[in-house]
């Protein structure tokens, strides 16, 4: 069969439409970053800390974060790193929230200087069905005074993660020392609980295997047809 330009155009359109359908929800979501700003409980003002910006363990310079104030609350429409609404909602509760102004806790003071503490529960809702990489940040300036250092063990959708033993790690993101990472598959909700410290979190969708397979198959098919046409 002779492969015409029209047939190639149709195949490329079908391939691109199918790939777009499979990846649209993931692309729209992007990277979601949350900074729990706390409140300055060591002063009379009660002012929250600054909202983080840019990269943490993941992300890029100039990324937008969602700054959430107080020890308890909810927010209906988180934005992604490009400041675009995602439709994902969050609710959180904790025993205490802190902003330790000027501690300059590294590697990212605008994230580490404020945090939730004690009994913590965070729920992310309205997530598209997918697998996600989740990064949980656990660090505060007080841990440097404690021997042994403070620790935090997160539970994500009933899965208990390895413990974060908070350490002073100047300029470095170190797994199990100032953050924990995990992969979670959900049909809509992620729940995070702990008794400890939570500065913030980042969430990003993992490309679906079906989308990757479709992409590879489509490219291979088009290349083969073009070669047949040129033969």
Residue 20 lies in a domain: no
- State pLDDT tens for residues 46-59: 678 889 999 999 99
Give a yes or no: residue 170 inside a domain: yes
- % of the chain exceeding 90 in pLDDT: 51
pLDDT tens for the 231 residues of the chain, in order: 454 555 445 444 444 444 444 444 555 689 999 999 977 555 445 678 889 999 999 999 999 999 999 899 999 999 999 999 999 999 999 998 888 776 667 788 889 888 999 999 999 999 999 999 999 999 865 545 566 678 999 999 999 999 998 876 667 899 998 999 999 999 999 999 999 999 999 999 998 664 444 444 444 444 454 455 555
Q: Is residue 212 in a domain?
A: no
Looking at the structure of the chain, the number of domains it has is 1
CATH of the domain at 134: 2.60.120.430
Domain contains 139: yes
Look at residue 80 and tell me if it is in a domain.
Answer: yes
Structure confidence at residue 15 (pLDDT): 44
Note whether residue 4 is domain-resident: no
Q: What is the pLDDT of residues 20-40, one digit of tens each?
A: 444 445 556 899 999 999 775
Which stretches within the chain are classed as H helix?
5-29, 109-112, 209-230
For residues 231 and 77, give the distance between their C-alpha atoms in angstroms, rounded to a whole number: 54
Give a yes or no: residue 17 inside a domain.
no
Residues 188/125, Cβ–Cβ less than 8 Å: yes
Q: What separation, in Å, do the N-terminal and C-terminal C-alpha atoms of the chain show?
A: 12
Q: Is residue 231 part of a domain?
A: no
Question: What does the alpha-carbon distance between residue 136 and residue 35 come to, in Å, rounded to a whole number?
Answer: 10
Q: What confidence score (pLDDT) does residue 81 get?
A: 97
Q: Which domain holds residue 34?
A: 30-207
């Amino acid at each position: 069969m002779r492969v015409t330009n029209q047939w190639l155009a149709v195949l490329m359109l079908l391939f691109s439409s199918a790939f777009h359908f499979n990846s649209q929800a993931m692309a729209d979501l992007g990277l979601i970053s949350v900074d729990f700003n706390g409140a300055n409980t060591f002063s009379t003002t009660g002012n929250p800390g600054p909202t983080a910006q840019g990269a943490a363990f993941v992300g890029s310079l100039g990324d937008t974060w969602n700054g959430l104030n107080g020890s308890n609350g909810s927010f209906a429409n988180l934005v992604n790193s490009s400041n675009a609404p995602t439709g994902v909602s969050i609710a959180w509760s904790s025993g205490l929230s802190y902003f330790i102004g000027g501690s300059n806790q590294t590697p990212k003071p605008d994230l580490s200087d404020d945090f939730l503490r004690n009994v913590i529960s965070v729920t992310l809702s309205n997530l598209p069905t997918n697998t996600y990489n989740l990064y949980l940040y656990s660090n505060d300036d007080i841990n440097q005074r404690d021997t042994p250092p403070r620790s935090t063990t997160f539970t994500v959708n009933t899965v208990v993660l390895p413990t974060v033993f908070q350490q002073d790690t100047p300029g470095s993101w170190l797994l199990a020392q100032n953050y924990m990472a995990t992969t979670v598959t959900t049909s809509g909700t992620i729940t995070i609980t702990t008794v400890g410290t939570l500065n913030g979190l980042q969430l990003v969708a993992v490309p679906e295997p079906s989308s990757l397979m479709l992409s590879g198959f489509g490219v291979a098919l088009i290349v083969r047809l073009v070669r047949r046409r040129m033969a």
